[in-house]
């Protein structure tokens, strides 16, 4: 694939650049990204499309014809703006946006996709890959993971307002399915809670309380159980989140 000249850069981080090609979006990874990860993201997105979840269509995986780039994932473009930019523009409407965001997440959690990767396997691999934790902590985390309720619901894995696109007619779609698995909704809620907490503990608590209310089930206990596992998986992802912040969430075994 040759990238066209008339493209707009949407995001540039870590090992990738996301471009808007007009009617399509292309996520271009550098040469450090394993090609199997790119095909996995495409396959995961195709399964999400087939499950009937509002999402961009998976169109193509292609090698970029240039010296410094590796592989790319092409998807359809969902015209609109991110929920994150809507919240930034009108912070006074946070409560209203949060409700729509939560209802969308609850709708995702009502879906199943039996061929999707399993959450438990993914978190086990991530905890195993960590070299920042000692053997006892690793054992405790894996034992805790093993004891969690076994569920097989679609989980986005990185559900936050920057991955929700609001169209002109106010319909919502979800992009960025690279981390999706089938597993426990409470784990997915714990990830969203952690991501909100990076900016505001108050917003994180509002999110968790409203999710519980809309779902009609208190999630606080299960989320607290998942948080150390989620923080460990986030540490393994090596995003630019403060390592001490994440270690603080992992080291909470005293309250057991
Ligand atoms: N199909 C799409 N239609 C419209 N906008 C999109 C689409 N895909 C991505 N975008 C926009 O590009 C931004 C970045 O894309 P994406 O979220 O997939 O990458 P990322 O956050 O860098 O990925 P990751 O979380 O895997 O590191 C999104 O926040 C969204 O604004
Ligand atoms: Mg994203």
Relative to the CA of 77, which ligand 1 atom is closest? 3
pLDDT tens digits, one per residue of 105-129: 999 999 999 999 999 999 999 999 9
What is the domain-level CATH number for residue 172? Answer: 3.90.1200.10
Which whole-number Å values give the CA distances from 154 to 36, 87, 122, 206, in the listed order?
A: 21, 25, 14, 23
Q: Chain-wide mean pLDDT for the chain?
A: 95
Does residue 244 fall inside a structural domain?
yes
The DSSP bridge partners found for residue 142 are none
Q: How far apart are CA 101 and CA 53, in angstroms?
A: 14
The DSSP bridge partners found for residue 181 are 155
Q: Give the count of alpha carbons within 13 A of 63, CB side only.
A: 7
Does residue 13 fall inside a structural domain?
yes
Q: pLDDT: is 13 or 47 the higher one?
A: 47
In this model, does residue 155 exceed pLDDT 80?
A: yes
Q: Give the count of alpha carbons within 13 A of 18, CB side only.
A: 12
Assign 251 a pLDDT band (cuts: 50, 70, 90). Answer: confident
Quote the ligand 1 centre to 27 CA distance (angstroms): 8
176 and 100: one domain? yes
Quote the ligand 1 centre to 222 CA distance (angstroms): 29
Assign 81 a pLDDT band (cuts: 50, 70, 90). Answer: very high
Which whole-number Å values give the CA distances from 132 to 157, 202, 250, in the listed order?
A: 22, 29, 11
Q: What is the pLDDT of residue 154?
A: 98
Q: What is the pLDDT of residue 65?
A: 87
pLDDT tens digits, one per residue of 134-144: 999 999 999 99
Q: What is the pLDDT of residue 35?
A: 95
Quote the ligand 1 centre to 101 CA distance (angstroms): 16
The DSSP secondary-structure symbol of 17 reads: E
pLDDT tens digits, one per residue of 177-187: 999 999 999 99
Does residue 241 fall inside a structural domain?
yes
Assign 255 a pLDDT band (cuts: 50, 70, 90). Answer: very low
Assign 253 a pLDDT band (cuts: 50, 70, 90). Answer: low
219 and 128: one domain? yes
183 and 230: one domain? yes
Residue to substitute in 11, 13, 41, 158 for testing ligand 1 pocket (most ligand atoms within 8 angstroms of CB): 11
- Burial (0-12, 13-18, 19+ Cβ within 10 Å), 141: buried
In this model, does residue 159 exceed pLDDT 80?
A: yes
Single residue among 56, 76, 96 that ends a domain in this structure:
76
Q: How far apart are CA 56 and CA 136, in angstroms?
A: 42
Quote the ligand 1 centre to 123 CA distance (angstroms): 23
| Ranges 16-20, 187-191, 196-200, 247-251: which has the least confidence | 247-251
Closest residue CA from atom 16 of ligand 1:
176
How large a percentage of the chain has pLDDT more than 90? 88
Relative to the CA of 79, which ligand 1 atom is closest? 4
Q: What is the pLDDT of residue 95?
A: 96
Q: What's the longest Cα–Cα distance across the chain?
A: 56
Quote the ligand 2 centre to 163 CA distance (angstroms): 5
Q: How far apart are CA 245 and CA 253, in angstroms?
A: 16
Q: What is the pLDDT of residue 205?
A: 97
193 and 245: one domain? yes
Closest CA to 197 of 186, 185, 210, 208: 208
Phi, psi (degrees; rounded to nearest 5) at 157: 90, -15
Residue to substitute in 165, 168, 198, 237 for testing ligand 1 pocket (most ligand atoms within 8 angstroms of CB): 165
110 and 152: one domain? yes
Q: How far apart are CA 10 and CA 164, in angstroms?
A: 14
Q: Is 13 in the pocket of ligand 1 (CB under 6 A)?
A: yes
What is the domain-level CATH number for residue 27? Answer: 3.30.200.20
Domain span at residue 147?
81-255
Q: Is 165 in the pocket of ligand 1 (CB under 6 A)?
A: yes
Q: Within 10 Å of residue 77's Cβ, how many Cβ atoms?
A: 17
In this model, does residue 48 exceed pLDDT 90?
A: yes
């Amino acid at each position: 694939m040759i990238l066209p000249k008339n493209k707009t850069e949407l995001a540039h981080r870590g090992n990738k650049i996301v471009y808007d090609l007009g009617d399509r979006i292309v996520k271009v990874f550098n040469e450090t990204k394993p090609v199997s990860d790119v095909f996995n993201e495409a396959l995961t997105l195709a399964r999400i499309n087939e499950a009937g979840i509002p999402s961009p269509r998976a169109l193509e995986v292609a090698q970029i014809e240039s010296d410094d780039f590796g592989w790319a994932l092409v998807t359809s473009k969902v015209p609109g703006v991110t929920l994150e930019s809507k919240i930034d523009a009108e912070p006074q409407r946070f409560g209203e946006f949060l409700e729509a965001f939560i209802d969308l997440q609850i709708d995702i959690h009502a879906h199943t996709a039996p061929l999707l990767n399993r959450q438990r396997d993914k978190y086990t691999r991530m905890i195993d890959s960590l070299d920042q934790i000692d053997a006892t902590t690793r054992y405790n985390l894996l034992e805790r993971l093993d004891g969690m309720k076994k569920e097989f619901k679609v989980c986005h894995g990185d559900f936050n307002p920057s991955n929700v696109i609001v169209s002109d007619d106010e319909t919502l779609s979800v992009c960025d399915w690279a981390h999706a698995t089938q597993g426990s909704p409470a784990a997915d809620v714990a990830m969203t809670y952690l991501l909100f907490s990076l900016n505001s503990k108050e917003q994180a608590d509002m999110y968790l309380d409203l999710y519980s209310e809309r779902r009609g089930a208190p999630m606080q206990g299960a989320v607290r159980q998942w948080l150390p596992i989620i923080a460990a998986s986030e540490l393994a992802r090596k995003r630019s989140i403060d390592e001490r912040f994440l270690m603080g969430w992992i080291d909470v075994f005293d309250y057991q």
